[in-house]
Structure 1
Amino acid sequence: MREHTFRVTVVGAGAAGTLTATRLLEAAHEAGARVALTLVDPAPGTGQGVAYATQDSRHLLNVPAGRMSGHPDRPDDFVRWLAGHGSRTVGAGEFAPRSAYGAYLAAGLDEAVARYGAGALRRVRERAVRLAGPDGDATQRIALSSGAVVDADAVVLALGAGAPGLGWVPGRLRGHQHFVSDPWRPGALDGVPADTDVLLVGTGLTACDLALSLARPGRTVHAVSRHGLVPYVHAGKPAASGPLPGPPAADLAGLRRWLAARAAYHRRVHGDWRPAVDELRPHTTALWQGLPATDRDRFLSEDLRLWEVLRHRLPPRTAAALDAARQSGQVSVRAGVVADAEPSPGGVRVSFTDGGTGCFGAVVNCTGAEASVRRSEDALVKDLLATGTARPGPHDLGLDTAPDGRLVAADGGARRPVWTLGSPRRGNLWETTAIPEIRVQAIQLADSLAKECSRIIR
């Protein structure tokens, strides 16, 4: 029998880490187990992460509030919370500010601490940089940037999506004072001049949010990407999607034909193609895992961008504001690829592969999280790969995991008590970056850890 309390360290205090910590306190209480929980993240807040740290009220969730509960068994939980923390009632079909969701997650953890584990949670505002200790040790040692060490019996890596990729950035642009490599870093946009044009590289959800933040009379925010595609908008009144009419094909060509046929059907019946994409949502992981590896590679190289703009859609209010900004000339969107950049008076002169050029007061990286885990600049991820504690996931996406989320080591084993959830499981699961998937993973992982805690101590 072990005398000490079961120690769990969660690295990352964004949505995935906060949901895991909240459920773990509840599950340990239900199991009658003693748990000491440490939440490690340098961010000043909890529950925000990259996704929900913005304080710009124009940045909205891209999923209706009624589908954003952190608890699958209480689907109206977020809507009810909003009703008690705002000046008006927010409907289930509305798109709430992203900052409100971060506050909701933090409040849920605070409530769990008060109800189930007063004194059981320690918040460490430092960056985890290394997982130390021999492979066979029962104690996992998490080294922090300060040199301190946190010991744990189990570790959960809630690392989020990671920093934006830099593979496209010309050498002379890297480190330039007018280049914003990560627009979600606190204060990253403070140095953007107010009276000059700005270039956003990327035209996805991040670029749409930043275009609204940076647009103003007297300048143009230029957004470019290889295809120049902007996310589609959510329907004002979504049509209900039903069960799939038979299993889709198990190869990429068949899936393309199936989706085109379903989109045509929904246009004919509902006047809207969107249910064809939405009805796939519960099945995307199984479809991804059922595709041959060669077909998954083809999807990533040929279909990914179109899928992203169809699947990850804009709130109607955001789309309307963006359209207005484009019509007024404050925002411009086009296809383009950056070829080179050089300093110019007050900013950067950028050359594009089509021969065009432009001068900008700032260039902002809106290309999204780095796709390849091997190119990650995160110190902890680099250490996990270098030591063989983890290996890249399929197609170099995220980290390879066992079905329960435990890290798979370089030799193919899954022995260490180290788990992950959310974005790092993308290679194995594909659909794993949104709250409906993350909340289920958090519950399953927390319940498993609570049972292990109870078994060991008793």
Structure 2
Amino acid sequence: MSEGTLHVAVVGAGAAGTLASARLLDAAVRTGHRLRIDLIDPAPETGRGVAYATPDPRHLLNVPAGRMSALSGDGDDFVRWLADQEHRRVDPAEYVPRDRYGAYLADDLHRSAAAGAGTATVRRRHDRVVAIARRPVSGSNDAVHLRLRTGETLDADVVVLALGHIAPGSKWLPDGLQDASHFVADPWQPGALADVPDDHDVLLVGTGLTMCDIANSLVRPGRTVHAVSRHGLLPLPHAAAAAPATAVRQVPVVELRDLAQLKRGVQHRAALCRRRYGDWRPAVDELRPHIALLWQQLSFQDRERFLTGDLREWEVHRHRMPPATDRALAAARLVGLLTVQAAEVSTARTSEDGLGVGVRLSNGWAAEVGAVINCTGTEGRVRELTDPFVRSLLHSGIAAPGPHGLGFDTAPDGRLTAADGSTAAPVWTLGQLRRGNLWETTAIPEIRVQATELAARILDLARAPALT
């Protein structure tokens, strides 16, 4: 720490990195601490990342606006901001376009930076971190040395990893498809869909929330969008009307014997909610504050059973799509513009004329399509990732895979656990990279809490004689 100023490098300027930076600034202002943040990301805009960079107005937030405040203690902040920006009354139950939320996060950071001007500052660097290393500092604990893609380097007292969207998984790819010109490896990259032909059918691999958005963008008369996954299950929709407030209550978390007991309890609550309110959703929603603790109470073997046997059924009930998206997809399926199959891609070859891809599924279905688009979602197992920065973190031992190989292993406060069990480097993370330890950690309500707690923890340590 130089001249009494704590220097924090935040890697990633999507939702998680922007929230972490804003809450660090808030905590510094509150405590009178001198703080300098380098917010590092090559993206042209702050706050959007991949999730909120889409310009398509059909891509909606997957939860109502009233649950998307950036501030843990002020649930109406996003609704007020949106009403002020659009000069209208905003219903907290609205599902608004995702690009609006990206603009809101950038403004939240701007407000925090303005409040801290002079003593707590943030500098936006449009660059990419390619490697970090521990740097011994005489008389204190380690700092962190960062190397950027441009060749520049910098040293920081603390690093916060907010890597956000990581490329979709690719283990399902058959030979010959990875390098095909008509294969879209990541539909969320800027311009990824620009070359998808209008006059050919399209195959989407994966049937989760990504598929729902991409299908909504691509469905049109004269072209059929085919979606396929091993299970063929789509996310279920949110209820058109919110459940009564009494339907969602804080349930006590009991000591679990096993996964079977947990499943029986959820099924019992779902049946009860259907009888009382005509809706099973409150039974899932009331579990949310307790999921991390429930996950940690399960044995390793039961968590593995969940991941291999129950994961998709949980996801379609837990991660739901907006009613408007559901209606659009249902209408497209009704007239044959969207099909959904339970199968895997067996073979894929570029057609002889080079204008498409011939694909065959495990159920025998075969067709020539103008593009195959990977909608399988982020690869959670870090050892499967080809990202050079993630690989360097694992190779250096600064980071280790989390339980079940999901994300990075972390302490309860989000600090990375060193691979060899030695003293951890001053590196923290939040969001999806904590999935192995917490499971429920990828949505804004969890990330905003983690950002607030992380900021308080880092500044608490900075006030001590040394970061420990």
Residue 321 (structure 1) shift: 0.9
Preserved contact between residue 130 and residue 380 of structure 1 (Cα < 8 Å): yes
Preserved contact between residue 394 and residue 400 of structure 1 (Cα < 8 Å): yes
Preserved contact between residue 29 and residue 115 of structure 2 (Cα < 8 Å): no
Residue 88 (structure 1) shift: 2.9
SS at match of 2:100: helix
Aligned equivalents of 1:455 and 1:194: distance in 2?
A: 61
Residue 452 (structure 1) shift: 3.0
Residue 44 (structure 1) shift: 0.6
CA deviations 1:127-150 (Å, max 9, x no partner) are 111002446763311111111112
SS at match of 1:37: strand
User: What does 1:273-292 align with in structure 2 at a 5 Å threshold?
Assistant: 273-292=280-299
User: What does 1:5-20 align with in structure 2 at a 5 Å threshold?
Assistant: 5-20=5-20
Preserved contact between residue 135 and residue 416 of structure 1 (Cα < 8 Å): no
CA deviations 1:49-77 (Å, max 9, x no partner) are 11111111100111111111011111100
Question: Structure 2 stretches of 5 or more lacking a match?
Answer: none
Aligned equivalents of 1:135 and 1:189: distance in 2?
A: 46
Residue 198 (structure 1) shift: 0.5
Residue 258 (structure 1) shift: 1.0
Residue 412 of structure 2: aligned partner: 403
Residue 367 of structure 2: aligned partner: 358
Aligned equivalents of 1:303 and 1:142: distance in 2?
A: 40
Question: Structure 1 residues 313 and 414, CA, compared in 2 at 3 Å: closer, same or farther?
Answer: farther
Preserved contact between residue 201 and residue 223 of structure 1 (Cα < 8 Å): yes
CA deviations 1:225-277 (Å, max 9, x no partner) are 01100000101122231122663743111111111111111111111111111
Residue 236 of structure 1: aligned partner: 240
Aligned equivalents of 1:404 and 1:95: distance in 2?
A: 32
Residue 260 of structure 2: aligned partner: 253
Specify the code of the residue in structure 1 equivalent to 2:75: P
Question: Structure 1 residues 170 and 121, CA, compared in 2 at 3 Å: closer, same or farther?
Answer: same
Aligned equivalents of 1:290 and 1:123: distance in 2?
A: 40
Residue 178 of structure 2 corresponds to residue 174 of structure 1: yes
User: What does 1:63-102 align with in structure 2 at a 5 Å threshold?
Assistant: 63-102=63-102
Preserved contact between residue 256 and residue 298 of structure 2 (Cα < 8 Å): no
Specify the code of the residue in structure 2 equivalent to 1:349: G
Preserved contact between residue 256 and residue 297 of structure 2 (Cα < 8 Å): no
Preserved contact between residue 250 and residue 287 of structure 1 (Cα < 8 Å): no
Residue 350 of structure 2 corresponds to residue 343 of structure 1: yes
Preserved contact between residue 141 and residue 151 of structure 1 (Cα < 8 Å): yes
The Cα RMSD (Å) is 1.6
SS at match of 1:8: strand
Aligned equivalents of 1:157 and 1:366: distance in 2?
A: 25
CA deviations 1:322-341 (Å, max 9, x no partner) are 11111122111111200110
Preserved contact between residue 52 and residue 99 of structure 1 (Cα < 8 Å): yes
Residue 415 (structure 1) shift: 2.2
Aligned equivalents of 2:169 and 2:129: distance in 1?
A: 21
Scaled by the length of structure 1, the TM-score of the pair is: 0.97
1:224 is matched with which residue: 223, 228, 236? Answer: 228
Question: Structure 1 residues 379 and 209, CA, compared in 2 at 3 Å: closer, same or farther?
Answer: same
Aligned equivalents of 1:397 and 1:315: distance in 2?
A: 27
Aligned equivalents of 2:291 and 2:439: distance in 1?
A: 7
Aligned equivalents of 1:229 and 1:133: distance in 2?
A: 45
Residue 5 (structure 1) shift: 2.0
Residue 28 of structure 1: aligned partner: 28
- Name the stretch that deviates more: 448-457 or 279-288: 448-457
Residue 325 of structure 1: aligned partner: 332
- Name the stretch that deviates more: 111-120 or 409-418: 111-120
Residue 202 of structure 2: aligned partner: 198
Residue 312 of structure 2 corresponds to residue 312 of structure 1: no
Residue 462 of structure 2 corresponds to residue 453 of structure 1: yes
Aligned equivalents of 1:271 and 1:354: distance in 2?
A: 36
Residue 296 (structure 1) shift: 0.2
Residue 265 of structure 1: aligned partner: 272
Residue 378 (structure 1) shift: 1.6
Aligned equivalents of 1:8 and 1:71: distance in 2?
A: 21
User: What does 1:70-219 align with in structure 2 at a 5 Å threshold?
Assistant: 70-117=70-117, 120-134=121-135, 138-219=142-223
- Name the stretch that deviates more: 251-260 or 290-299: 251-260
Aligned equivalents of 2:116 and 2:68: distance in 1?
A: 23
Preserved contact between residue 343 and residue 361 of structure 2 (Cα < 8 Å): yes
Preserved contact between residue 277 and residue 311 of structure 1 (Cα < 8 Å): yes
Residue 292 of structure 2 corresponds to residue 303 of structure 1: no
Would you say how many aligned residue pairs link Structure 1 and Structure 2? 457
Question: Structure 1 residues 357 and 174, CA, compared in 2 at 3 Å: closer, same or farther?
Answer: same
Specify the code of the residue in structure 2 equivalent to 1:408: T
Question: Structure 1 residues 6 and 249, CA, compared in 2 at 3 Å: closer, same or farther?
Answer: closer
Identity %: 56
SS at match of 1:371: coil
Residue 87 (structure 1) shift: 4.8
- Name the stretch that deviates more: 79-88 or 448-457: 448-457
CA deviations 1:98-145 (Å, max 9, x no partner) are 111110000011111122135821111111110024467633111111
Aligned equivalents of 1:314 and 1:162: distance in 2?
A: 21
SS at match of 1:120: strand
SS at match of 1:439: helix
Scaled by the length of structure 2, the TM-score of the pair is: 0.95
Aligned equivalents of 2:275 and 2:2: distance in 1?
A: 64
Question: Structure 1 stretches of 5 or more lacking a match?
Answer: none
CA deviations 1:200-242 (Å, max 9, x no partner) are 0001000000001011110001111011000001011222311
Preserved contact between residue 134 and residue 142 of structure 2 (Cα < 8 Å): no
Specify the code of the residue in structure 2 equivalent to 1:251: D
Question: Structure 1 residues 31 and 368, CA, compared in 2 at 3 Å: closer, same or farther?
Answer: same
SS at match of 2:86: coil
Residue 434 of structure 2: aligned partner: 425
